[in-house]
Amino acid sequence: MGKTLYEKIWDRHVVESRENEPDLIYIDLHLIHEVTSPQAFDGLKKENRTVRRPELTLATMDHSIPTENREFPFQDPGAQLQVEALEKNCKEFHIPLFNLGSDRQGIVHVIAPEQGLTLPGQTMVCGDSHASTHGAFGALAFGIGTSEVEHVLATQCLQLVPSKTLAIQFTGELSPGITSKDLILALIGAYGNDFATGYVIEYRGDPIEAMSMEQRMTICNMSIEFGARAGLMAPDQATFDYIKDKPFAPKGSDWETALEDWRGLYSDEEAGFDKVIHFDVTQVSPQVTWGTNPGQVVSVKGEVPSPEAYSGFSRSNVENALDYMGLKPATKMEDISIDVVFIGSCTNSRIEDLREAARVLKGYEKSPNLRGIVVPGSQQVKAQAEAEGLHHIFLEAGLEWRNSGCSMCLGMNDDFVGPNERCASTSNRNFEGRQGENARTHLVSPAMAAAAAVKGHFYDIRDWEYKLQEVHS
Ligand SMILES: CC(C)[C@H](C(=O)O)[C@@H](O)C(=O)O
Ligand code: SF4
């Protein structure tokens, strides 16, 4: 019997296995940020322990930082304390840190792939649920809690019980204008947001193989919104091309050795999954969420559902969601006007996302009644976007151009959506209060967010009149 990709990675990392006990698994890379690490470091200090492998740990600051003026003092003294604590802890324990002065700083899930730290076959953890993003490279990557962060810092290992495996076999071809964001939203919408609970997903099939690495990352990023422990994709030539020559990628003969190894990272044909589903991507249209979890989603050409007619969620759940969102059943999605546009987050803030948004915005101005911010996922993405002149397009459209960070993805920093304001957001979570108290979030792709910024309401990107096709060289 063959092995799945997940089983192959797992087996390579077992340090110790005892009957009726969790396995002890070695962790190749530990990413940390300012929000979920302070208590873990406090725990270490209390026990007088050191960090076992500081060089396999990387720190960045992203969640609570301001994206406008990043100088001290911050408007929020609590955020400044978190940032200062991370600097101090990294210094004390010799952990590499991309701080606010670094041109490599950015959202934790954007910088690791960008630096060539995310590699196929690795085990990776982070005190952050969207660690699943790195699965796009064939790395087994998942979020952990603060006590586990402490454990990994101290031992570079974790006690883990294997998850069940779910293969999602995509078929068909995405239509023009449809992105991987639409695909993952449509998938979660079709099966429900807790369908993959307890599973590690492997996304497979031609539509995945046809995608860029950045598109793939968007899908793996939202595995957690589907309930999964992690999402994986087998590495292929696109993966290797992306990694090659990145700053921390293996070089010279190490590269050749690594490549040879990575080429064996796929699920064997005779491997068995605990569950398999098939999903035809051909009919996927631009998606917009209407409710308060990512599975409450509909085509932009659709309408707000009525609690009676909606399957998948209970009547009261739908009623509550509509009430929170301030929406009436049967309203056309394209008739919903918005107050805020947020283009950013670890789901959609990479260079291709910004190019897509800029391609839509080129030559247009935002609707006068809304405000919008574009927040690159890292300072490297920011520099690249500026080298291509994308920031001019955003600024000319009347949107703000910021420094990198999690920003408006979650109401934990200076960027938030006001009470009862409605936001078209490229992020991954539309929970109540996610972007601010009583803020109303609609999840969309970068192109759809850009179109909404111009129109002032949701608008089908397939009907868009582009003023210029190519904005980058
Ligand atoms: C703050 C952090 C722990 C959290 C997570 O784990 O995902 C955040 O990144 C989020 O997206 O909600
Ligand atoms: S951008 Fe959003 S989803 Fe991603 S790590 Fe930051 S807060 Fe979490």
Considering the domain boundaries, does residue 156 fall inside one?
Answer: yes
Ligand 1, pocket residues at CB < 6 Å: 35-36, 63, 128-130, 143, 410
| Residues 173-190 pLDDT 10s | 999 999 999 999 999 999
Alpha-helical regions (H) of 232-276: 237-243, 252-262
| Residues 183-239 pLDDT 10s | 999 999 999 999 999 999 999 999 999 999 999 999 999 999 999 999 999 999 999
Higher pLDDT, 324 or 471: 324
Verify that 130 and 5 share a domain, yes or no: yes
* pLDDT at residue 274 in the model: 98
CB neighbour list of residue 187: distance below 8 Å, 6 or more residues apart: 168, 226, 279
First CA to last CA distance, the chain: 48
- Predicted structure pTM score: 0.98
Residue 470: pLDDT band (50, 70, 90) is: low
CATH number of the domain within which 145 lies: 3.30.499.10
Verify that 126 and 254 share a domain, yes or no: yes
- The angle that helices 38-46 and 77-93 make with each other, rounded to 10 degrees, is 50
Nearest CA to ligand 1 atom 3: 128
Residue 19: pLDDT band (50, 70, 90) is: very high
Instruction: Please indicate if the annotation marks 346 as binding a ligand.
Output: yes
| Mean confidence (pLDDT) of the chain | 97
For Cα atoms 434, 302, 167, give the angle at the middle one, nearest 5 degrees: 70
For Cα atoms 271, 275, 280, give the angle at the middle one, nearest 5 degrees: 100
Verify that 272 and 363 share a domain, yes or no: no
Considering the domain boundaries, does residue 470 fall inside one?
Answer: no
Verify that 260 and 347 share a domain, yes or no: no
Verify that 378 and 241 share a domain, yes or no: no
Verify that 279 and 348 share a domain, yes or no: no
R_g of the chain, CA atoms, integer Å: 22
Considering the domain boundaries, does residue 305 fall inside one?
Answer: no
Nearest CA to ligand 2 atom 8: 130
Considering the domain boundaries, does residue 303 fall inside one?
Answer: no
| Sheet (strand 157-160) strand order | 14-16, 23-26, 157-160
Position in ligand 1 atom list of the atom nearest CA 224: 7
Verify that 19 and 137 share a domain, yes or no: yes
Verify that 204 and 350 share a domain, yes or no: no
Into how many domains does the chain fold? 2
* In the predicted structure, residue 81 carries a pLDDT above the cut 60: yes
Verify that 167 and 27 share a domain, yes or no: yes
Pocket probe for ligand 1: among 31, 32, 34, 63, the residue whose CB has the most ligand atoms within 8 Å is: 63
Verify that 122 and 258 share a domain, yes or no: yes
Considering the domain boundaries, does residue 302 fall inside one?
Answer: no
Are 290 and 305 within 8 A, CB to CB?
yes
Verify that 143 and 20 share a domain, yes or no: yes
**ipTM score here?**
0.99
Verify that 73 and 207 share a domain, yes or no: yes
Ligand 2 centroid–CA 283 distance in Å is: 29
Considering the domain boundaries, does residue 40 fall inside one?
Answer: yes
Considering the domain boundaries, does residue 52 fall inside one?
Answer: yes
Are 446 and 424 within 8 A, CB to CB?
no
| Residues 25-38 pLDDT 10s | 999 999 999 999 99
Residue range(s) defining the domain that contains residue 235:
1-284
Considering the domain boundaries, does residue 297 fall inside one?
Answer: no
* In the predicted structure, residue 472 carries a pLDDT above the cut 60: no
Ligand 2, pocket residues at CB < 6 Å: 62-63, 107, 109, 128, 130, 345-346, 406, 409-410, 427-428
